Amino acid sequence: MQLRIRAWTVIKKGLIALFWIAACHHCLAQDIYEVTYKAGPIIKVINPTSNIESEDIRITEEGNEIGYQMGGFLRVRINNVYFQPELLFSTIQSRIDFLNFQGVAGFDPTADFEFTTLEIPMAIGVNIGSLRLDGGPGLSILLKGSEIFLNEDRNVTKNYNNMSLLWRLGAGIDIHKISLDFKYEFGLSKTAESLERIIGREMLPKQSQLVFSVAYSLVKD
């Protein structure tokens, strides 16, 4: 809980500083800098891939983490450089088959997981004509985790790390008030934590995900 409060404090201070920097540039240096703003709702669709080489685990294509993210974004552009923090609520599901579980031949139980998280990505990018290129970290805060395994439905929120860090690289274009983006994300996932919890040893699947997002700006440049 203390770590979560500290994270919120850092995020709030960072956003306040960003607003003040943008305001100062806009008010005091209009002859030097061109400052524009965009802000509004955003929705993202996640297409993940997760691979693991193990005789004990099977992650099918349908079992990869899938999910949606919805929230809001703010983009402050100074000349050709921009900063874009986002605040998103995310629902992620995954399914894992455990083969010959606990040494019992032919016993392959399936575990289903669902996680609700608060995602706070921060992108720093550049405009090259109509194209945008950006990258940056993203903080993921676990709000709720549930697990269905061996016919038992459990709340497992306290069994997982409250926070994790992801990294994003992407490109996008703006069409009037609509922004379209494709991003590549990588980092530790809840799938890795789930495997470690159930089988009792560390297993890190090769995991990444492609994210497509659509945003609509309610602010006129």
**Measured between alpha carbons, how far is residue 45 from residues 21, 70, 214 in Å?**
32, 9, 9
**pLDDT value at residue 2:** 46
Please report, as a single letter, which amino acid is at residue 71: G
Sign of the CA dihedral 96, 101, 106, 111?
negative
- Triad 6, 11, 16: Cα angle to 5°: 130
Looking at per-residue pLDDT, the higher value among 188 and 45 belongs to 45
Q: How many domains is the chain built from?
A: 1
Quote the tokens at residue 131. 């194209």
Q: What does the pLDDT read at residue 58?
A: 75
User: Which CATH number does the domain housing residue 163 bear?
Assistant: 2.40.160
Q: Supply the range of the domain harboring residue 208.
A: 33-216
Q: Is residue 171 part of a domain?
A: yes
Residue 20 counted as domain residue: no
Task: Tell me whether residue 100 is in a domain.
Answer: yes
Residue 13 within any structural domain of the chain: no
pLDDT at 14: 55
Question: What would you report as the CA-atom Rg of the chain, rounded to the nearest whole angstrom?
Answer: 20
- 180 belongs to a structural domain: yes
Instruction: Confirm whether 26 is domain-assigned.
Output: no
